[in-house]
Amino acid sequence: MMVPDRVTLAHNLGAALAAPESAQRVNDLRAVLTTEAVAWESDEQRLMRNVSERVDIASGNASRLVPLARSVHALLDAASSNDMVRLLLELVAERERLVGILLTHVKGTITQTSFQSFVAEQRWPERVRRRIASLSLRDIEDLMNALNEGDIARLEGLIVA
């Protein structure tokens, strides 16, 4: 089976999420991962393989899988480019945990130094880490809202600005 392009994966993920047994349908899409990576895969196919692998991490936990699949679907559907998918994938995939940390920072429960350490340790692209580390508290609140609302355009604006 060939790895689908972004539009196809977004469509298939949306259909799976709309099905009565969405967790099982999303798990069924994991067939993408059973294929061996090949040298002639396009950059977009490699990206979609990475997206599929990110969803696969939650495949054993239906209560985590469906929300993750919804977040990834929103990203695939609304991102302005594959580069934006690449930049935002980990933020979107770790939305709940990230929003929790951001909230503790905004409330002053963790220090700026602790927040900077947290950001530095993430697997996010360097550009994303630098940008989040430099956000004002107001922008961090906006980032939390964008993540919670699945507002990919606003998320892009905050990260790329």
pLDDT digits (tens, 9 = 90+) for 88-134: 999 999 999 999 999 999 999 999 999 999 999 998 999 999 999 99
Phi, then psi, of 157 in degrees rounded to 5: -60, -40
Is the Cβ–Cβ distance between 89 and 76 less than 8 Å? no
- Distance from C-alpha of 7 to C-alpha of 121, rounded to nearest angstrom: 32
Q: Would you state the structure tokens that stand for residue 104, as one six-digit string?
A: 């503790």
- Distance from C-alpha of 26 to C-alpha of 124, rounded to nearest angstrom: 24
What secondary structure letter does DSSP report for 30? G
* Model confidence at 149: pLDDT above 90: yes
- Distance from C-alpha of 86 to C-alpha of 72, rounded to nearest angstrom: 11
Rounded to 5°, the CA angle 94-55-88 comes to 45
Closest CA to 6 of 83, 68, 62, 58: 83
Q: Would you state the structure tokens that stand for residue 15, as one six-digit string?
A: 């259909």
Q: pTM for this structure?
A: 0.83
- Distance from C-alpha of 47 to C-alpha of 143, rounded to nearest angstrom: 24
Is the Cβ–Cβ distance between 151 and 145 less than 8 Å? yes
- 46-100 confidence digits (pLDDT tens): 888 888 888 877 777 778 888 888 999 999 999 999 999 999 999 999 999 999 9
Residues in the chain: 161
